[in-house]
Amino acid sequence: MQRYAEVSHEEWFDAPPATVRAQFADLQHHIRTGVHPKLRFELLSQGQQRTRFVQEVRLLGLRQRDVFEREFEADGTMLDTSVSGFNQGGTVRIRFMPQLKDGRSATLVEIRVRLPLPPVLGPLLAPLLRWQILREVRAAAAEDKQDIELRGYLPLAPPQPQAA
């Protein structure tokens, strides 16, 4: 039976849900601007319903490389599932909940990470792994917050048809 390390974190964003969701989903922006210095992304394919990408991260001193598939649920929740690699079967689920803050549109983001534990030492490593995952999730959320609120992330406008 597979065991998992699970963590969750919530972060407020002073921006509307559509902007926050767009920034989280914009892998090309993350790659181009280096939003997350400790993560490396490589976009493999991107469509309307599904995106496939490589993510590399270092946890517990080990470099972990995974291929993720991203999809959006009916409520706008973003779900990344590792389909191959070190954390195969693991998930990152991100919910974007509209809120009002000082009369302005804001977003409460809930991030839940569920990664498989190594079969042999997993139960012994679980507390340390959860601690490090939570530390990295908090850091990544703070980097996204800075990108949106301080750098002023703006979603790219869809291409407009050219007049003949």
CATH of the domain at 113: 3.30.530.20
d(CA 19, CA 106): 10
How far apart CA 106 and CA 118 sit, in angstroms, is: 38
Residue 55 lies inside a defined structural domain of this protein: yes
Count structural domains, the chain.
1
> pLDDT for 109-131, tens place per residue?
999 999 998 777 667 888 998 99
Strands 104-116 and 91-101, sheet pairing: antiparallel
Strands (E) across 14-103 are located at 40-46, 50-59, 62-72, 78-85, 91-101
Residue 31 covered by a domain: yes
CB distance 142 to 38 below 8 Å: no
Give the ranges where the chain is alpha helix by DSSP (H): 17-25, 27-33, 122-149
Is residue 69 exposed (0-12), middle (13-18) or buried (19+ Cβ within 10 Å)? Answer: middle
Kindly state whether residue 162 falls inside one of the protein's structural domains. Answer: no
Kindly report the pTM of this predicted structure: 0.89
Q: Is 24 part of a structural domain of the chain?
A: yes
Q: Is residue 11 part of a domain?
A: yes
Share of the chain above pLDDT 70, in %: 93
Whether 93 maps to a domain, the answer reads yes
Contact between 145 and 13 (Cβ < 8 Å): yes
Q: What is the pLDDT of residues 57-108, one digit of tens each?
A: 987 788 999 999 999 999 999 999 999 999 999 999 999 999 998 888 999 9
Structural domain containing residue 137:
4-149
